[in-house]
Amino acid sequence: MTNPVVEAKGKRYELAFEPVRSSLSEGPAMLWGFQVFVRRDGEEVGMKTCFVGRVSVQFRDKEALEGGMDRLMPVLYAIAQEKITERLELGEEGDEILFA
């Protein structure tokens, strides 16, 4: 996967997604977490630790929950990208924990 580039407040940011980790439970995973490094002009300006819940995924693409990580990861990353872009629009480039 290539790192997506987003634009916020007239600035371009590259988002570097780290691997996804699932919540540990005996039942279906309820939460996925991963880090996203935010870069502007090749320099890291922040790290967003993202947690995406099962309900958010189900709302976006119910079938992704049953399709394995190949189907799930793009949905998780898309949800996080939208949330990160919102925060960048508000001027929040730095480190944060985000929930979706």
pLDDT per residue as tens digits for the range 7-31 = 999 999 999 999 999 877 778 888 9
The answer, as to whether pTM is greater than 0.75, is: yes
The pLDDT-based confidence of 1 (bands split at 50, 70, 90) is low
Residue 25: per-residue pLDDT: 74
Structural domain boundaries enclosing 85: 5-99
Q: Print burial letters for 62-93: b (CB count within 10 Å at least 16), e (below 16).
A: eebeeeeeeebbebbbebbbebbbebbeeebb
Tokens of 69: 């990580």
Number of domains in the chain: 1
Instruction: Report whether 79 contacts 56 (CB < 8 A).
Output: yes
The string of pLDDT tens digits covering residues 32-75 is: 999 999 999 999 999 999 999 999 999 999 899 988 889 999 99
